[in-house]
Amino acid sequence: MFVNYDGSILSYAASIRRYFGLSSSYSSDQKLSEILNRQRPERVFVLLIDGMGANQIRNKLPKDAFLNKHLLARTSTVFPATTTAATTAIRNGKAPNENAWLGWSQYLKEIDDIIIPFRSIGYYNDIRYEEDIFEHYVPITRTVSELKKIGIKSRILFPSFMEDGCEDFDEMCLRLAEYSKEDDYRYIYAYWDKYDTYMHRYGPSSAICDSYLEHINYEIEELYNNLGEGTMLVVTADHGQVDIRRFYNLCYSPFDKFFYRRPCLEQRAMAFYIHKGMEKEFEKQFKKAFENDYILLSRDQVLRSRLFGDHKNHPRFEEFIGDYLGIAKSDMVLIYRERDDRYYKGQHAGICDDEMIVPVVVGMK
């Protein structure tokens, strides 16, 4: 499936931004805007659970579970369905093509390396760069910063890998409940990562992940019950995941000869940089080998499709999408590794519904 960006997670971000007096170039979601304008919450807390696709809460939790009972909508995330693109989009209300934050790994010409934007580390070589180096060259704005500029006290809340982060999900929920009883904060964006981590490691169908999802549901219900009056809780996700049952390593394969730069972005939304004069042969061989598992689009096709967003492209967008883009549509994944030691049992960034459809859960106290 491809994304209707005016009927995606960006519509919910637009509703919240407009409620607080910020602008958006996307249509607001009618249902959420009606609730906001009717209830007039003093505080809006957005809690994003990494990897928690809408199909997972529907299929893994009972109908009377909190996340199912308070489900406002099932909607599309952005493309690619991955943390770098989606959380950046949700946090500033713009599509990936506007931000140019597209995937877990991106080529940065200033250092001639493929790095992980969120970690400032080389993807293939683990070289550590200056902190926030990608943002230095590809700056973005965020809703929290915009709200602070107009005098609305806001904050972010992260796991312990960030300063003042939470050691576990229980702590995050307890802190959100405490903040909801204070007058200061009117908007909080909170992000939790462990569910996605477990699904990568064990697969989204594993009993371990099922149990952790139940724990998440329980803690969110407890959080809701302990929220201060006048607080709206919005729970959503950046993407879901699919179980990976097959993989193919492109490194040292017959395809390696085509690449003048190693692939990047995502394993299920892979940007390929192809030697000049070899494009047609690459296209022919790729489609022959993977036509049942991947869609292959040329750069021109990607630009025409508006796959990453339908507003004006960031000046650096085109340099990040490669010459071709391979998009997964099955339970198979392409990797590029000298060794296969980073193969995950669960993955995302393709176009399967389990990856693309996310929940919007709303509770108002």
Look at residue 187 and tell me whether its pLDDT is greater than 70: yes
Distant-in-sequence contacts of 63-70, Cβ < 8 A, 24+ apart? 65/217, 66/217, 66/218, 66/220, 66/221, 66/224, 66/361, 66/363, 67/216, 67/217, 67/220, 67/235, 67/359, 67/361, 70/224, 70/235, 70/361, 70/362, 70/363
Please tell me if the domain spanning 5-89+140-242+352-364 has the same topology as the one spanning 246-343.
no
pLDDT category, 268, cuts 50, 70, 90? very high
Q: What is the DSSP string of 140-154?
A: ---HHHHHHHTT--E
Digit-coded pLDDT (tens) for 214-243: 999 999 999 999 999 999 999 999 999 999
What mean pLDDT value characterizes the chain?
Answer: 96
Contact predicate 349/244, CB 8 Å: no
Region 198-215: mean pLDDT is: 97
Residues 6+ apart with CB under 8 A from 125: 113
pTM of the model: 0.96
pLDDT at residue 184 in the model: 87
Look at residue 246 and tell me whether its pLDDT is greater than 80: yes
Look at residue 341 and tell me whether its pLDDT is greater than 80: no
Region 85-92: mean pLDDT is: 97
pLDDT at residue 183 in the model: 74
Show the tokens assigned to 177.
């409940």
Digit-coded pLDDT (tens) for 99-132: 999 999 999 999 999 999 999 999 999 999 999 9
CATH 3.40.50.2000 fits 5-89+140-242+352-364, yes or no: no
Region 186-206: mean pLDDT is: 97
pLDDT category, 85, cuts 50, 70, 90? very high
pLDDT category, 338, cuts 50, 70, 90? confident
Digit-coded pLDDT (tens) for 279-321: 999 999 999 999 999 999 999 999 999 999 999 999 999 999 9
Q: Could you tell me the residue ranges of all domains in the chain?
A: 5-89+140-242+352-364, 102-139, 246-343
Digit-coded pLDDT (tens) for 28-76: 999 999 999 999 999 999 999 999 999 999 999 999 999 999 999 999 9
Region 319-327: mean pLDDT is: 97
pLDDT at residue 66 in the model: 98
The type of residue at 140 is: I
pLDDT at residue 342 in the model: 59
pLDDT at residue 108 in the model: 97
Digit-coded pLDDT (tens) for 126-170: 999 999 999 999 999 999 999 999 999 999 999 999 889 999 999
Q: Which CATH class is domain 246-343?
A: alpha beta
pLDDT at residue 340 in the model: 59
pLDDT at residue 283 in the model: 97
